[in-house]
Amino acid sequence: MKADVGAPISTGGVGALLRLPVYGRKIGGAAEYVIIPALALAASLVLFGIFVGLFGKNPLDLYFYMYQGAFGTWFSWQNTLTRAAPLILTALCTALPAQLGMVIIGGEGALLIGALSATSAALALPDVSPWFVDIAMAVAGMFGGGLWIALSGALRQYRGVNETISSLLLVYIALAILNYLVEGPMRDPTSLNKPSTREIGAANMIGNIPGMEVHWGLVFGIVAAVLSYILIYHTVFGFAARVAGGNIRAAKVVGLSVGKLILITCFLAGAAAGLAGMMEVAAVQGRTNANLAAGYGFAGILVAFLARQNPLAVIPVSILLGGIGASGGLLQRRLGLPDASVLVLEGVIFVMVLASDTLYGRWSFFKGKAG
* pLDDT for residue 69 is more than 50: yes
Kindly state whether residue 80 falls inside one of the protein's structural domains.
yes
Q: What pLDDT shows up at residue 338? A: 85
Kindly state whether residue 281 falls inside one of the protein's structural domains.
yes
In sequence order, what are the beta bridge partners of 265?
none
Is residue 48 domain-shared with residue 86, that is, in the same domain?
no
Backbone angles phi, psi at 197, to 5 degrees: -80, 175
Is residue 228 domain-shared with residue 308, that is, in the same domain?
yes
CA 102, 108, 112, 115 torsion-angle sign: positive
At 189 the three-state DSSP class reads: coil
Q: What is the CATH number of the domain that holds 277?
A: 1.10.3470
Q: What pLDDT shows up at residue 364? A: 63
Q: What pLDDT shows up at residue 363? A: 67
pTM strictly above 0.85:
yes
pLDDT above 70 coverage of the chain, percent: 89
Q: What pLDDT shows up at residue 234? A: 96
Measured from the Cβ of residue 145, the count of other Cβ atoms closer than 10 Å reads 38
Give the pLDDT band of residue 191 (cuts 50, 70, 90): confident
Question: How does DSSP classify residue 202?
Answer: G
Q: What pLDDT shows up at residue 368? A: 53
Kindly state whether residue 342 falls inside one of the protein's structural domains.
no
pLDDT above 90 coverage of the chain, percent: 74
* pLDDT for residue 43 is more than 90: yes
Kindly state whether residue 129 falls inside one of the protein's structural domains.
yes
Q: Rounded distance, CA 108 to CA 110, Å?
A: 6
* pLDDT for residue 45 is more than 90: yes
Is residue 292 domain-shared with residue 158, that is, in the same domain?
yes
| Highest-pLDDT range among 25-34, 144-153, 335-344 | 144-153
Kindly state whether residue 51 falls inside one of the protein's structural domains.
yes
* pLDDT for residue 19 is more than 50: no
Give the pLDDT band of residue 13 (cuts 50, 70, 90): very low
Q: What pLDDT shows up at residue 367? A: 58
Q: What pLDDT shows up at residue 341? A: 87
Q: What pLDDT shows up at residue 366? A: 58
Q: Which of 190-199, 228-237, 275-284, 294-303 has the lowest mean pLDDT?
A: 190-199
Is residue 187 domain-shared with residue 288, that is, in the same domain?
yes
Residues sharing a CB contact under 8 Å with residue 205, sequence separation 6 or more, in sequence order: 282, 283, 286
* pLDDT for residue 247 is more than 60: yes
Is residue 89 domain-shared with residue 190, that is, in the same domain?
yes
Is residue 115 domain-shared with residue 186, that is, in the same domain?
yes
CA 324, 330, 334, 335 torsion-angle sign: positive
> Span 166-175, mean pLDDT?
97
- Residues 281/288, Cβ–Cβ less than 8 Å: yes
User: E strands of 21-161, at which residues?
Assistant: none
Summary mean pLDDT of the chain = 89
Give the pLDDT band of residue 21 (cuts 50, 70, 90): very low
Is residue 312 domain-shared with residue 190, that is, in the same domain?
yes
Q: Which of 49-63, 162-176, 221-235 has the lowest mean pLDDT?
A: 49-63
Per the structure, the complete domain to which residue 324 belongs is given by: 58-336
Q: What pLDDT shows up at residue 301? A: 96
Is residue 132 domain-shared with residue 3, that is, in the same domain?
no
* pLDDT for residue 308 is more than 80: yes
In 3D space, the residue among 354, 256, 329 whose CA is nearest the CA of residue 37 turns out to be 354
Q: Rounded distance, CA 328 to CA 335, Å?
A: 10
- Residues 258/248, Cβ–Cβ less than 8 Å: yes
Is residue 150 domain-shared with residue 1, that is, in the same domain?
no
Kindly state whether residue 355 falls inside one of the protein's structural domains.
no
Is residue 121 domain-shared with residue 34, that is, in the same domain?
no
DSSP state string for 244-288? HHH-HHHHHHTT--HHHHHHHHHHHHHHHHHHHHHHIIIIIISS-
Q: 357 or 139, which is more confident? A: 139
Q: What pLDDT shows up at residue 369? A: 46
Domain count, the chain: 2
At 365 the three-state DSSP class reads: helix
Is residue 260 domain-shared with residue 185, that is, in the same domain?
yes
Q: What pLDDT shows up at residue 7? A: 39
Q: Rounded distance, CA 59 to CA 112, Å?
A: 37
Kindly state whether residue 353 falls inside one of the protein's structural domains.
no
Kindly state whether residue 37 falls inside one of the protein's structural domains.
yes
Question: Looking at the chain, how many residues does it have?
Answer: 371
Is residue 13 domain-shared with residue 50, that is, in the same domain?
yes
* pLDDT for residue 299 is more than 80: yes
